[in-house]
Amino acid sequence: MVRLFLDLHVAWEGPQPSRRRLVRFARAAVADMDGAVRVGMRIVGAHEGAGLNRQYRHKNHPTNVLSFPYDTYGGRTRFLGDLAICGPVVDSEAQAAGIPAEAHWAHMVIHGIMHLRGYDHVDDEGAAVMERLESQVLKSLGFPDPYHEL
């Protein structure tokens, strides 16, 4: 059984799921882990999101979620790392795809945490594993598979 500590900081005033819902999404993404884990999450606007993406990925535009894994573990609580989720990008992507915003928010939280856990999609094999895990977690929350049911 996992115990999740979510450090949430909101720097964007637009629509977003409640803290309770964000915790639920994050907890589902780590449900198969043991012990206590900590995740930092910051909800950002387009300006801050673009700055972070430029600084860390050398891309001059905001992106939906950035993951910053923490690779040193100490004490009794494992710190997985930080997420920066760009609210306006998540909302515009959901609208463009014609899916409920909450489903896309859940997907971005889960996707980001999977990156913190070491999963990646740089090749087809890694992408297939990561997508399968994300789809299973989303299904456990009652959301459709974002890769096959759109």
Residue 42 neighbours by CB distance under 10 Å: 20
What CATH number corresponds to the domain at position 105?
A: 3.40.390.30
Classify residue 150: in a domain, yes or no: no
Instruction: State the pLDDT confidence band at 113, using cuts at 50, 70 and 90.
Output: very high
At 107, give phi and psi (nearest 5°): -60, -45
Classify residue 20: in a domain, yes or no: yes
Classify residue 21: in a domain, yes or no: yes
What does the pLDDT look like over 26-71, one tens digit per residue?
999 999 998 889 999 999 999 999 999 999 999 999 999 999 998 6
Classify residue 148: in a domain, yes or no: no
- CA nearest to 108, candidates 2, 17, 5, 11: 17
Classify residue 149: in a domain, yes or no: no
Classify residue 147: in a domain, yes or no: no
Classify residue 62: in a domain, yes or no: yes
Half-sphere exposure (Cβ direction) of 40: Cα atoms closer than 13 Å: 12
What is the total count of domains within the chain? 1
121 contact partners, CB below 8 Å, separation of at least 6: 127, 130, 131
Classify residue 11: in a domain, yes or no: yes
* Contact indicator for 52, 112 with CB cutoff of 8 Å: no
pTM of the model: 0.93
How buried is residue 51: exposed, middle or buried, by Cβ count under 10 Å (0-12/13-18/19+)? middle
**Position 150 pLDDT exceeds 60:** no
In b/e form, how buried is each residue of 108-125, taking b as 16+ CB within 10 angstroms? Answer: bbbbbbbbbbebebeeee
Supply the pLDDT for residue 2.
Answer: 84
Quote the domain boundaries for residue 38.
Answer: 2-140
DSSP for residue 50: H
